[in-house]
Structure 1
């Protein structure tokens, strides 16, 4: 998976990565382990060492999307697919909103 990801980083000139992290999901250790293994695999390749990354709390993203999708009455498989994709969008948008508000993006003089 790290190699596939590395190819995407090159193809799209990625300079940063926002990783949805299941903070506080003590009852879902599998998700925590999956995310940790993915990041560790990427770190071990050292081919992505110039890509900055941050963990972002994903707990409320799925709930937000569930509430948006509920009125659509989708097939469960279709709903799950859309849930995952839109949750990723919510995570990224939350990070971008935070960065625009609180992170100094002005170049150093």
Structure 2
């Protein structure tokens, strides 16, 4: 039983996978998408779901700081519905406020260059989303 964590943006999706015991999250990759033309990387995500035998997905839910739902959170809701429909697995929306900022801060403190941060920021955010969910479930 593995759980997939996803940080969904308009151009990329950061992907993380739990270990088989559901204790830790590891970043896997960043999938390129194009929200404008409704290309959401479902084929690649399906390959990863099959490869890692994913039984559940956690999608970052970027609520506003006042807990309201804005355009990005609505986009996450639509994406979660698409994923659930395409692969018939449970999909949980998980509050991800400030995870990208926290991931960037962590990478800066690790002295990762701006160029390299851009390559891994979404994957790191997916790890933080999934790890938060895994810790909550314990």
**TM-score normalised per structure 1:** 0.69
| Equivalent residue, structure 2, for 1:103 | none
Q: 1:73 to 1:23 in 2, by over 3 A?
A: same
| Equivalent residue, structure 2, for 1:80 | 118
Q: Larger radius of gyration, structure 1 or 2?
A: 1
Which 5+ residue runs of structure 1 have no aligned equivalent?
101-109
Q: Does 1:42 align with 2:80?
A: no
* C-alpha contact 2:84 2:91 (8 A) present in aligned 1: no
For residues 10 and 43 of structure 1, the distance between their equivalents in structure 2, rounded to whole angstroms, comes to 14
Which 5+ residue runs of structure 2 have no aligned equivalent?
1-40
| Equivalent residue, structure 2, for 1:91 | 129
Describe the superposition over 1:26-79 as per-residue Cα deviations: whole angstroms up to 9, x where unpaired: 7x73x335423422333443xx12x11101111121222222222344332211
Q: Higher helix proportion, which one?
A: 1
How many residue pairs end up in the alignment? 96
For residues 72 and 10 of structure 1, the distance between their equivalents in structure 2, rounded to whole angstroms, comes to 33
